[in-house]
Amino acid sequence: MSKSRLVPILSIAALLALSVAFNPSPDRHRIKIKESLADRSALARVLSLGSLAALASNYHSLGVASYTKVGDRLLSVGFMGFVYVPDQTKS
């Protein structure tokens, strides 16, 4: 195999390995859900709704990415160490 083909293959393999290594854990998702809900609502902060939502969530890993759901609702999405919690109040 020539060097010109080997470099892109190795680069892709390294990127996939890093993606798997930095895939956010269930605990990172739960922490981000708690923080996000507390930041969006003072009532949610006082009632610890973020903790309840995080506890009830189901973690799913896709290897390079992950997400949490409660029922049919998506709570968070994670990739390369970052976790995003979409605003659930939008329709």
Task: Specify the pLDDT at position 73.
Answer: 92
| Distance (Å, whole) CA 72 – CA 59 | 13
Among candidate residues 87, 69, 67, the one with its CA nearest the CA of residue 77: 67
Confidence of residue 42 (pLDDT cuts 50, 70, 90): confident
pLDDT, greater one: 85 or 47: 85
